[in-house]
Structure 1
Amino acid sequence: MAEVAAIRHIRLTDFRSYASLNLELRGQPVVLSGPNGSGKTNLLEALSMLSAGRGMRRARLGEIARQNGRGGWTVTALLSGALDESQLGVGVEAGSPEKRVVRIDGASAPGPATLLEYLSFQWLTPAQDRLFMEGAAERRRFLDRMVLSHDPTHGKSAATYEKAMRQRTKLLEDLPRADQTLLGILERQMAEAGVAMAAARREMTSRLAAGADQLNNAAFPAADLALEGALEEALSVESAGDVEEAYEKRLKDGRWRDAAAGRALEGPHRSDLFVMHREKQQAARLCSTGEQKALLIGLVLANATAIAANDSRVPLILLLDEVAAHLDAHRRAALFDILHETGMQAFMTGTDADLFEAWGNRAEHLDVRDSTISGSL
């Protein structure tokens, strides 16, 4: 396996609880232990801002700046591989708290999507422990984050679709006087981008199935996946071109219906991911809390295994917040072994350093106290 690029340096300014941080790393997996409220999750969130989207907490950019700080914030990371290194930076200025500035090697970049050319992130947080019990939106975001680790263009498709859908919804408020030509253009954009999204999600479920087969670890049960959505289901039996044409026609025919509802009633924004415990043949939402956690981790590991097997050019960084808290010793050891085998860098948090003892010297252990980080005691 080729050497995987890793984050070797992190610098924060006025981010959440950090007035400043200048952290050198060895490129190994990183364990951050310390009491609640010490700044562990804030560091993971800072790293997650080096990606497309709103980060692992989905916070507004203006809410992230440190209280009593100067109003802006910055996150910079040095990504180092076998042959080269890149400095990636994001932040907002005090006068423009909702405008994210992106820099690559010191030069301005067009936007956050550019970062996907350098690295991608997958995260697990305690809030996701109820992923199989909550609404479909969270499962879509979870799956789409995985898709981005393989296909950076998925973010562009999603952005195009969302923008066209918002503009169409606004126009539909003025039926029948709305510009019919513009409506047709927007519906065509929705059809093209929406089918691309659905196709990418279908391909991702296939990758996850292959990754689960390669993983084949009893500590984390394999999952069978199904996508529930009109476009995804149509793509299983029709060509992408035919599905686009049919969806565009349904959008046109459904204008009055969507106008009355105030939103588009069909499309990839309403799709869902169905997950089943393979061995038990039981829906994930009906499994125990422990089994749901294991299934969730298993999906992340299946994706990591699939990426490692393909020697992806773009490294995947894992952000695992409180990942070990509800795992028994056997599953913790299995998790660390699998992560080690993938060669990927993972950042893990926990209140108890003993939970990560099985890592040994394969990981860098750091202690976090009052947003100050030092070598673990």
Structure 2
Amino acid sequence: MHVTRLELADFRSYGSVEIELRPGPVAFVGANGQGKTNLVEAIDYLATLDSHRVSSDTPLVRAGAERAIVRAQLQREDRSALLELEITPGRSNRARVNGNPLPRVRDLVGIARTVLFSPEDLALVKGDPSDRRRFLDHLVVMRTPRFAGVKADYDRVLKQRNTLLKTAGRRSNVEISTLDIWDENLARTGGQLVAARLALLDALAPHATDAYRDVAAGAAAERQVVSLVYKPSVEGVEELRDPDDIAKALLDEIGRRRREELERGISLVGPHRDDVLLGIGDLPAKGYASHGESWSLALALRLAAFALLREDGDDPILILDDVFAELDSDRRSRLAARVAGAEQVLVTAAVEGDVPTELVGQSFDVAGAVVTPRD
């Protein structure tokens, strides 16, 4: 899978730009703040409907414009598809495939598949549980797009239930009986989401170990095992795999903690409270891993995601956003050697020398939101 053409209108710093892309390595080179990350962010957003840099759509639209347009021609073997997304902050976004409107914008997710690694990914190891949950859920949806609906349903139920909890303790029993319905919905959608996360971790763990051994420096690292241990809000759930069994465990715990939830006005049970404990060898990564080990582990998680998606039948588009400047020479060369055979690798770098020789291919200079091909 690869992108052959990218068009942007009023996206980030770009009023208008159109570039032709080839398979293999593609490098966007330019000083910081010139717009190179905006290009790869647009491709990733088209695939995931999420930005690795901001949490809302508003910054994606150029200052003074009402909406932004992202179009990409996607090639998969002998098939081609034109993906288009219209981003309008404060209103519903709209998506099209080959000119045909999609009934729901989330139906766009998974048509293009991307794996993006950026300096922000250090939060996967050192950051909050929300960073690791987000990583899992993005990968679940990328592998099985219908889970975009499951996740959206869960988020909607959670929001409604939290609103009800804030008022139910102070009002009539009508709200309490209504809460029972939301409890069941939270447990049902939560059971599906947790089951998908657990299955994902089972599949991801061996790839993470393999990738870590490949990119980490030192002979000792090549013998280490990476552990990915699910830490649920309900003890014992990590041993289950059936969504219905997990839903029952969640519902039982919700019932047990009903009084506490009413007192605090917030949902205390469910996948929104879960975490993944990352380990290298016998030690937890958080608090014990060095800076270099943390970088290697974060990179290994993204490379594991790439390997898992590749097993599903297509090479995803691999995006390496300004990461080589953060890596020492050993890790840089190890990473480049591992990904050089991907169908398309999009690299951003501040200077040409940051791009490893293994990833020298099609190149663009980016300056002041102007993209100029080098060849």
Same fold (TM over 0.5): yes
**More off after superposition, 143-152 vs 262-271:** 143-152
Q: Please show how residues 197-212 of structure 1 align to structure 2 within 5 Å.
A: 197-212=193-208
Cα separation, 2, equivalents of 1:166 and 1:310: 33
Match of 2:184 in 1: 188
**More off after superposition, 207-216 vs 101-110:** 207-216
Match of 1:369 in 2: 367
C-alpha RMSD of the superposition:
2.3
- Deviation track 1:305-334 (CA, whole Å, cap 9, x = no partner) reads 23323424xx52233211111222232222
| Deviation for aligned residue 1:292 | 0.7
Cα separation, 1, equivalents of 2:212 and 2:295: 17
Q: 1:174 aligns with which of 168, 179, 182?
A: 168
Q: Is contact 1:290–1:326 with CA below 8 Å preserved after alignment?
A: no
Residues 1:84 and 2:79 are matched in the alignment: yes
Cα separation, 1, equivalents of 2:241 and 2:68: 48
Match of 2:285 in 1: 283
Cα separation, 1, equivalents of 2:262 and 2:194: 24
Cα separation, 2, equivalents of 1:291 and 1:283: 8
| Deviation for aligned residue 1:136 | 0.9
Q: Is contact 1:324–1:350 with CA below 8 Å preserved after alignment?
A: yes
Going from structure 1 to structure 2, the CA distance change for 1:42 and 1:188 (only over 3 Å counts) comes to: same
Which amino acid in 2 is paired with 1:87? L
Match of 2:323 in 1: 323
Residues 1:157 and 2:150 are matched in the alignment: yes
**More off after superposition, 144-153 vs 227-236:** 227-236
| Deviation for aligned residue 1:154 | 2.6
Q: Please show how residues 119-158 of structure 1 align to structure 2 within 5 Å.
A: 119-158=112-151
Q: Please show how residues 42-121 of structure 1 align to structure 2 within 5 Å.
A: 42-68=38-64, 70-93=65-88, 97-121=90-114
Match of 2:22 in 1: 26
Q: 2:13 aligns with which of 10, 14, 17?
A: 17
Match of 1:356 in 2: 355
| Deviation for aligned residue 1:374 | 1.7
Cα separation, 1, equivalents of 2:365 and 2:133: 34
Runs of 4+ in 1 over 4 A off after TM superposition: 213-217
Q: Please show how residues 250-269 of structure 1 align to structure 2 within 5 Å.
A: 250-269=253-272
- Deviation track 1:193-244 (CA, whole Å, cap 9, x = no partner) reads 1111111111111222232355474323552111111358424157432331
Secondary structure in 2 matching 1:194: helix
| Deviation for aligned residue 1:358 | 1.7
Cα separation, 1, equivalents of 2:235 and 2:318: 28
In the alignment, structure 1 segments of 5+ residues that lack a partner are none
Residues 1:292 and 2:294 are matched in the alignment: yes
Which amino acid in 2 is paired with 1:55? S
Match of 2:226 in 1: 223
Match of 1:345 in 2: 344
Report percent identity of matched pairs.
Answer: 26
Cα separation, 1, equivalents of 2:146 and 2:345: 24
Match of 1:311 in 2: 313
Match of 1:36 in 2: 32
| Deviation for aligned residue 1:265 | 0.9
Which amino acid in 2 is paired with 1:296? A
Cα separation, 2, equivalents of 1:290 and 1:23: 35
Cα separation, 2, equivalents of 1:234 and 1:309: 27
Going from structure 1 to structure 2, the CA distance change for 1:53 and 1:92 (only over 3 Å counts) comes to: closer
| Deviation for aligned residue 1:120 | 2.5
| Deviation for aligned residue 1:147 | 2.0
Q: Is contact 2:150–2:193 with CA below 8 Å preserved after alignment?
A: yes
Secondary structure in 1 matching 2:278: strand
Q: Is contact 1:275–1:284 with CA below 8 Å preserved after alignment?
A: yes
Count of paired positions: 365
Q: Give the alignment's TM-score, normalised by structure 1.
A: 0.89
Q: Is contact 1:211–1:306 with CA below 8 Å preserved after alignment?
A: yes
Which amino acid in 1 is paired with 2:229? A
Cα separation, 2, equivalents of 1:219 and 1:52: 26
Which amino acid in 1 is paired with 2:344? Q
Q: Is contact 2:310–2:316 with CA below 8 Å preserved after alignment?
A: no
- Deviation track 1:173-192 (CA, whole Å, cap 9, x = no partner) reads 13352444432222111111
**More off after superposition, 126-135 vs 184-193:** 126-135
Q: Is contact 1:34–1:368 with CA below 8 Å preserved after alignment?
A: yes
Going from structure 1 to structure 2, the CA distance change for 1:285 and 1:364 (only over 3 Å counts) comes to: farther
| Deviation for aligned residue 1:344 | 3.9
Q: Is contact 2:214–2:334 with CA below 8 Å preserved after alignment?
A: no
In the alignment, structure 2 segments of 5+ residues that lack a partner are none
Going from structure 1 to structure 2, the CA distance change for 1:360 and 1:258 (only over 3 Å counts) comes to: closer
Q: Give the alignment's TM-score, normalised by structure 2.
A: 0.89
Cα separation, 2, equivalents of 1:336 and 1:259: 52
Match of 1:247 in 2: 250
Secondary structure in 2 matching 1:110: coil
